[in-house]
Structure 1
Amino acid sequence: MGGQLFHFPRLPRAEYLRREGQVRAVLHELLPDTPAGPQWFIPLYHADKPDFGDLDVLVSRDALTAPFLAEFRARLGITQTRYVKGIESHDFGGFQLDLMATPPAELRTRFEFMSWGDLGNILGRMMRPLGLKWGESGLLYVYRRPDEAHYLRTYTVSLSIDDVMQAAGLDAAHWHAGFENEAAMFAWAAGASRFSARPYLSPEGDFGRRILERPGLQRFAEFLERAGWVAPAQREPNQPLEVLFELFPQSGLADFLEAEAAAAKRDEVRRSKFSGRLVMELRPELSGKVLGAFMQAFTARPDFWDWVDAATTDEITDRIRAAPAPLNSQT
């Protein structure tokens, strides 16, 4: 992405549109729409974008077969291809053309997130006080257990940008109609009821670094300054779950959180009955790699945790004491 792989120069708009037309013609013939929907998308861009560093094409992973790729390359005269992290980057006559393998269920979502420059990132920042993350895989609720820093789960609240715009307090019709230019898009985004200028005018942490890495976000910050925006003194407050339930009543989020709460209670009981600390107390002769091997062997049964749930503390203790040490425990 961004034309960085081959280090080709950027293409002026007119030449880019000619190249894109060639690619679209080939894709329309080789990958026509199916009853389930399109098999590919090219993200939308502003009418005032003067030049382009590459051409991104999102393609259903199922459609990226060897015969398709061979025919695609042949028709466009591509002789050089590099593969990096799920992206087939092609030398399209001195211009980088990226085919981005995408799970079929996420194809439209990825297209919506990547369209209109950095709008996806701007919308995503508005979702954070809601405990949500908007990205190429959809609108996700990020769940963390308060007492377990390493425990993280995500739940897909929606795959539609319309729901993101509703949550942000924006009129979705503007997104679908398109924007006359980048400045018009910036003004529309800044009009969201959940928008705060603070992350852009007083950047900090990871998002501050992201602004430095993304020219589009830098231009948005400059737009806000020119428009007279002032950063609020406080960060946007995190919203209570009731707000999410009201915004997304059919998402199943409440059921997900109820199941996670039950799982947290279950795991707490399990840890009280069995843990590495308990093994070390009962089998002090085990340590280091030997202890690790013992734990791996002791918990290897597929139904191990079901057994822990049903067993008494005495039964678990007796089994730990009776279990044989690994063969290398004496070395």
Structure 2
Amino acid sequence: MGGHLFHFPRLPRAEYLRRERQVRAVLHQLLPGTSAGPQWFIPHVHADKPDFGDLDVLVSQDALTAPCLAEFRARLGIRQTRRVQGIESHDFGGFQVDLMATPPAELCTRFEFMSWGDLGNILGRMMRPLGLKWGESGLLYVYRRPDETHYLRTFAVSLNIDDVLRAAGLDATHWHTGFANEAAMFEWAAGASRFSARPYLSPEGDFGRRILERPGLQRFADYLKAAGWVAPAEREPPQPLEVLLSLLPQSGLAAFLQAEAQAAGRDRVRRSKFSGRLVMGLRPELRGKPLGLFMQAFTASPDFWEWVDAATPAEIETRIRVQPAPLHSQA
């Protein structure tokens, strides 16, 4: 939230660290780790960050109960709390502390994405030529059918930062041990085998707007310019699928793609046997809303598409011809 909710001034680093230690001590007592893992995380920050607008704490939404919140406020002497979209923002003596309710399955991944400033966004941009998205929900493969622009599915390739770093061509050790400062992180990230300076030095589209909105990405662009980087003339080309499969062979992506290919073939056959175009050809009186109502009623059975799979074209046409039009379409 950046401290904007209460409009508090930013805290110098030393005071921020003192407040963070207090918050950690309370959370260690209230929400100790379980057999399933930690119940909360505070994202990593750079050692040279001079001041802070707030303190973000990711908390498992299962653990963030009303009694837990009441005890948290009591132990820290908090008198003012506001809730905005699943975030409990607390006035901790003139400093904003945000407890961010997070699905348990996404707790670690969200921590990894939010750590080290804008590194998550930088890594996410490297994933795009591989057909991947890196964000708070993990490393996702985005699948689109070539012949159906509206058809989109995502597949969770990984929930582990190490897989993201391997795909980027980076040594994961540095992420886990930390960076001396933001500049050291910038140098490390720019050394990735899949890094391209073009999105930062020749920004365009949504990512160009994101650079303007996020000071950390602006600083990264300034670092690249100062280090002598030059934007390539062309965008990074999409990588062949074989490259992605070789990088993440245990992800289950190959099986997902095989299942999607089978589903696409099945749907092509189904569309060849039944469609709105077929209905209009056989029932020319049905157009617009009446056609929509007819289609809705005709396909309402839970096993409709299984029937289409087994039926002959003649059987489907006969059923279309004899199916009554919805009553309100006959008015």
TM-score, length-scaled by structure 1: 0.96
RMSD (CA atoms): 1.3
What is the distance in 1 between the residues matched to 2:322 and 2:172?
A: 65
Q: Is the 8 A contact 2:293 2:329 kept in 1?
A: no
Give the C-alpha shift of residue 8 in structure 1. Answer: 2.3
What is the distance in 1 between the residues matched to 2:78 and 2:320?
A: 63
Change in CA separation of 1:6 and 1:288 when aligned onto 2, cut-off 3 Å = farther
What is the distance in 2 between the residues matched to 1:68 and 1:28?
A: 12
Give the C-alpha shift of residue 252 in structure 1. Answer: 0.9
What is the distance in 1 between the residues matched to 2:71 and 2:296?
A: 49
Q: Does 1:236 align with 2:236?
A: yes
What is the distance in 1 between the residues matched to 2:209 and 2:110?
A: 23
Give the C-alpha shift of residue 279 in structure 1. Answer: 1.9
Give the C-alpha shift of residue 238 in structure 1. Answer: 1.2
Q: Give the structure 1 partner of residue 23 of structure 2.
A: 23
Helix, strand or coil at the partner of 2:97: strand
Q: Give the structure 2 partner of residue 180 of structure 1.
A: 180
Q: Does 1:215 align with 2:215?
A: yes
Q: Is the 8 A contact 2:89 2:98 kept in 1?
A: yes
Q: Give the structure 1 partner of residue 164 of structure 2.
A: 164
Whichever residue aligns with residue 319 of structure 1, its letter is R
Helix, strand or coil at the partner of 1:128: helix
Give the C-alpha shift of residue 327 in structure 1. Answer: 1.8
Cα-to-partner distance string for 1:224-278 (whole Å, 9 max, x where unaligned): 0000000111111211111111111111111111111111111111111111222
What is the distance in 1 between the residues matched to 2:14 and 2:102?
A: 28
What is the distance in 2 between the residues matched to 1:76 and 1:325?
A: 66
Q: Structure 1 residues 39-48 or 1-10, which shifts more?
A: 1-10
Q: Give the structure 1 partner of residue 251 of structure 2.
A: 251
Helix, strand or coil at the partner of 1:62: coil
In the TM superposition, structure 1's runs of 4+ consecutive aligned residues that sit over 4 Å from their partners are none
Whichever residue aligns with residue 256 of structure 2, its letter is F
Q: Structure 1 residues 148-157 or 220-229, which shifts more?
A: 148-157
Helix, strand or coil at the partner of 1:285: coil
Q: Give the structure 2 partner of residue 322 of structure 1.
A: 322
Cα-to-partner distance string for 1:197-247 (whole Å, 9 max, x where unaligned): 111001111111110111000000000000000011111121111111111
Give the C-alpha shift of residue 129 in structure 1. Answer: 0.8
Helix, strand or coil at the partner of 1:286: coil
Whichever residue aligns with residue 97 of structure 1, its letter is V
Q: Is the 8 A contact 2:87 2:99 kept in 1?
A: yes
Q: Give the structure 1 partner of residue 9 of structure 2.
A: 9
Q: Is the 8 A contact 2:91 2:97 kept in 1?
A: yes
Give the C-alpha shift of residue 4 in structure 1. Answer: 2.4
Whichever residue aligns with residue 200 of structure 1, its letter is Y
Q: Give the structure 1 partner of residue 133 of structure 2.
A: 133
Give the C-alpha shift of residue 67 in structure 1. Answer: 1.6
Change in CA separation of 1:126 and 1:77 when aligned onto 2, cut-off 3 Å = same
Whichever residue aligns with residue 153 of structure 2, its letter is R
Q: Is the 8 A contact 2:89 2:99 kept in 1?
A: yes
Q: Give the structure 2 partner of residue 263 of structure 1.
A: 263
Q: Give the structure 1 partner of residue 192 of structure 2.
A: 192
Q: Give the structure 1 partner of residue 48 of structure 2.
A: 48
Q: Structure 1 residues 181-190 or 230-239, which shifts more?
A: 230-239
Q: Structure 1 residues 211-220 or 241-250, which shifts more?
A: 241-250
Q: Structure 1 residues 257-266 or 75-84, which shifts more?
A: 75-84
Helix, strand or coil at the partner of 1:206: helix
Q: Does 1:74 align with 2:74?
A: yes
Identity of aligned residues (%): 84
Q: Give the structure 2 partner of residue 227 of structure 1.
A: 227
What is the distance in 1 between the residues matched to 2:318 and 2:67?
A: 61
Q: Give the structure 1 partner of residue 91 of structure 2.
A: 91
Q: Structure 1 residues 196-205 or 61-70, which shifts more?
A: 61-70
Q: Structure 1 residues 86-95 or 48-57, which shifts more?
A: 86-95
Q: How many residues align?
A: 331
Helix, strand or coil at the partner of 2:232: coil
How do 1:268-307 residues align onto structure 2 when only pairs under 5 Å count? 268-307=268-307
Q: Give the structure 2 partner of residue 148 of structure 1.
A: 148
- Structure 2: which 5+ residue stretches go unaligned? none
Give the C-alpha shift of residue 314 in structure 1. Answer: 1.3
Give the C-alpha shift of residue 136 in structure 1. Answer: 0.7
Whichever residue aligns with residue 259 of structure 1, its letter is A
What is the distance in 1 between the residues matched to 2:3 and 2:261?
A: 45
Cα-to-partner distance string for 1:140-192 (whole Å, 9 max, x where unaligned): 11111111111111111111111111111111111111001000100010111
Give the C-alpha shift of residue 82 in structure 1. Answer: 2.9
What is the distance in 2 between the residues matched to 1:94 and 1:327?
A: 64
What is the distance in 1 between the residues matched to 2:138 and 2:326?
A: 46
Whichever residue aligns with residue 244 of structure 1, its letter is L
